[in-house]
Amino acid sequence: MKIELIVNGVRKTLDVEPNELLINVLREKLGLTGTKYGCGIGECGACTVMVDSEPVLSCLTLAIEVNGKQITTIEGIAKDGQLDPVQEAFIEEGAIQCGYCTPGFIITAKTLLRENPNPTREEIIEYIKGNLCRCTGYVNIVKAIQKAAEKIRKEKL
C-alpha cells in the first residue's frame, strides 16, 4: 500500500505492507534509527515518537494507521543545529547513561511540556510512567524535565 507521512517536516511517500509497524518503517525504510526497539510489546516506551502532537508507541502502531500524519522522531527535535532545551537539560542533569531509553523519554517529555509547561514533580513521574530506564534510577530524568520546563518558560518570557 502507498502511504504518505510527514516525517520531521519532510513529506515521504512509502510503499508499506498492511501489517508493517511504524517503528520498522522509521528505522528500516527511512534510516531513522534514533527510535529504539526495546520490548516490542508496549511496555518500555523506547519506541515513542510523536504523531501530530501525541506520544505514540511505534512498536504497536501500524504505518497505515498514521497515513497522512506528522511524525516527529528524535532526529527532528534539534533545530538548525541547536539542541532542544529538553535535550540540553538531559545532558546537563546527567539523565543519560547507556542512552537506549533517552529518545523515548525526550519525546515523552516534549509532549508533556507542550500540554503542561509547569508540571509538578508528581505530574512528571505520572506522565513518564510508560517509559522505562534500566540505568539512571529516574531521579536525574525527573530533574532534567523540571530543568527543561524552566528553560522553555524563560525562553517564552
Residues that bind ligand FES (CB under 6 A): 37-40, 42-47, 57, 59, 96-101, 133-136
User: Smallest distance from the beta carbon of 154 to ligand FES, in angstroms?
Assistant: 27
CB closer to ligand FES out of 129 and 153:
129
CB closer to ligand FES out of 63 and 133:
133
Q: ∠98-146-157 over CA atoms, to 5°?
A: 130
User: Smallest distance from the beta carbon of 11 to ligand FES, in angstroms?
Assistant: 25
User: Smallest distance from the beta carbon of 117 to ligand FES, in angstroms?
Assistant: 25
**In angstroms, rounded to a whole number, what is the distance separating the alpha carbons of residues 17 and 127?**
33
CB closer to ligand FES out of 6 and 40:
40
**In angstroms, rounded to a whole number, what is the distance separating the alpha carbons of residues 46 and 128?**
11
Which among 154, 68, 157, 74 has a CA at the least distance from the CA of 110? 74
CB closer to ligand FES out of 69 and 138:
138
Q: Grid coordinates 529516574 are at which residue?
A: 138
3-class secondary-structure state, position 103: helix
User: Smallest distance from the beta carbon of 80 to ligand FES, in angstroms?
Assistant: 27
Alpha-helical segments (H) within 5-133: 22-24, 85-92, 102-115, 121-127
